[in-house]
Structure 1
Amino acid sequence: MLLHQLKVAQALLSGVAEGGRGTNGTPYPKQPEKALKLYEFEGSPYCRRVREVLTTLNLDYEVYPCPKGAKKYRLEVQKLSGKQQFPFLVDDNTGDRLYESQQIIHHLFKHYGKTGQTPKKYANYPKIPYVAYVGTLINGAQGVWVHRKVIHRDAPSQLLELWGFEASPYTRIVRSALSEMELAYIFHNVAKERWQDQGLAVMRLRPGKYVPLKGGKREQVLKIMGNNIQVPYLKDPNTGVELFESEKIVKYLKKQYLS
């Protein structure tokens, strides 16, 4: 319990160091017909930039974790493009395969943003992401290295599904575990759509029963989760397990895919 709370504190401070990017997003995303595929790993500051923009655009996408020391999806990227460099985005809707975080960001805003233009705050990232590196260090470099027990294990037959958003410290803990276990998954962004959504599920700024923005993405997510929106939320179609709470999710993943 104490170790988990330490991880929560690290993940929270990591998000603060990044200025809270990856919290808010459009309630009406332009979701592509074919799933975007992102090859990345949790501790990479360059990958983090891309994930922040995906939350801003509130897009769902498939994640293929490529932590250092891993083989499965790193070798897949090698076959697809000839080198192992991350992030790497595959967009089958446009036929593009892209490296370089800034290039990917421009692509995402061009095809899935409202105006087709990259906003200034996302158009000129510093070449060396010092702030993001600090965030990675604060977070204890979790999600950077593959867990030694999964090197020779086959991937589950079906992709896991995770609901959350980039800056959520609890979601970050689960993503780190998925990265270290090299478990591919569908990430469903549940970005904050307005001021009433701010705060933890039990401590939102607007008191009373939670009512999502009509017609927004959260309205659809609420139908999946039930009475309230709480992240992270994991579904494992390989076992039928559905779980809230980051600590419970991580314990389940370790028991199911490490033991």
Structure 2
Amino acid sequence: MLYHQVKVAQALLSGVAEGGRGTTGTSHPKQPEKALKLYEFEGSPFCRRVREVMTTLNLDYEVYPCPKGGQRYRQEMKKLGGRRQFPFLVDENTATQLYESQDIIHHLFKHYGKTGKTPKKYANYPKIPVVALAGTILNGARGVWVNKQILNREAPAQLLELWGFEASPYTRIVRALLTELELPFKFHNVAKERWQDQGLAVLRLKPGKYQPLTGGKREQVLKIMGDNIQVPYFIDPNTNTQMFESAKIVDYLKKQYGQ
């Protein structure tokens, strides 16, 4: 448990280094009809830029983890795009395939943002991702390399599902392990939609029973989770497993897919 808390602290510092990006998002996202597909790996600073914007737009998407040394999806994405370069976005709604984090970000705001334009905050990232790279280092470079014990294994028949948001330290720990185990999953963004949502589930700025924004995405998420919003929340349809708590999810993934 102590080791897990160390990982939480590192993941929290990683989020702080990025200035809190990937925490808040629109309450009424323009969710595409067909799922966006992102080939990436958790520890990549370039991929992190895209994930932050995905949270800002509150978009759900499918993740196909491509850690260094991995075999399952690195070959697949090379067949699709011709290169092993990350991130790589597949948007079947617009018949688009894109490399380059900045190009992907422009595409996302153009098609799924409110105005169709990329805000200045996200329009001119530096070529060298110093801040995001610092976040990766602070997080112990987790989610960079494949777990060699799982090489050549088949992927689960159905996509795993994970609810969270980019900057959540607890969610980051789970995503890193999913990357290392090359486990594909659908990521459901649960961005904080207003000031009342800020803080941990048990320490929100507004005390009392949690009330989501009427008509917002969190109102729909609450119907799935129960009487409160807490991330990460995980579902494995292959084993009919549902659970909260990052430590429990990590333990489950290691036992089910990491041995």
**If the TM-score is normalised by the length of the shorter chain, which range does it land in?**
over 0.9
Runs of 4+ deviating beyond 2 Å: none
Which residue in 2 is equivalent to 1:69? 69
Shift of residue 150 of structure 1? 1.1
Counterparts of 1:150 and 1:85, CA distance in 2: 22
Structure 1 residue runs of 5 or longer lacking an equivalent are none
User: Quick check: 1:131 aligned with 2:131?
Assistant: yes
SS at 2:247's partner residue?
A: helix
Across the aligned residues of Structure 1 and Structure 2, the Cα RMSD in angstroms comes to 0.4
For residues 80-115 of structure 1, the C-alpha deviation after alignment (integer angstroms, 9 at most, x for no partner) is 111100000000000000000000000000000000
Which residue in 2 is equivalent to 1:18? 18
User: Quick check: 1:92 aligned with 2:92?
Assistant: yes
Counterparts of 1:197 and 1:225, CA distance in 2: 15
Counterparts of 1:184 and 1:124, CA distance in 2: 30
For residues 110-160 of structure 1, the C-alpha deviation after alignment (integer angstroms, 9 at most, x for no partner) is 000000000000000001001111110000000000001111100000000
Which residue in 1 is equivalent to 2:110? 110
Counterparts of 2:132 and 2:257, CA distance in 1: 30
User: Quick check: 1:120 aligned with 2:117?
Assistant: no
Shift of residue 76 of structure 1? 0.2
Counterparts of 1:22 and 1:82, CA distance in 2: 30
Correspondence 1:145-156 to 2 at 5 A? 145-156=145-156
Which residue in 1 is equivalent to 2:205? 205
Counterparts of 2:89 and 2:82, CA distance in 1: 14
For residues 54-79 of structure 1, the C-alpha deviation after alignment (integer angstroms, 9 at most, x for no partner) is 00000000000000000110000111
Q: Between Structure 1 and Structure 2, how many residues are aligned? A: 259
Which residue in 2 is equivalent to 1:53? 53
SS at 2:10's partner residue?
A: helix
Counterparts of 1:111 and 1:235, CA distance in 2: 29
Counterparts of 2:78 and 2:35, CA distance in 1: 20
Counterparts of 1:108 and 1:131, CA distance in 2: 22
Q: Could you tell me the TM-score, scaled by structure 1's length?
A: 1.00
SS at 2:73's partner residue?
A: helix
**What amino acid is the match of 2:172?**
R
Which residue in 2 is equivalent to 1:37? 37
SS at 1:72's partner residue?
A: coil
Correspondence 1:134-213 to 2 at 5 A? 134-213=134-213
Shift of residue 258 of structure 1? 1.4
Counterparts of 1:78 and 1:71, CA distance in 2: 11
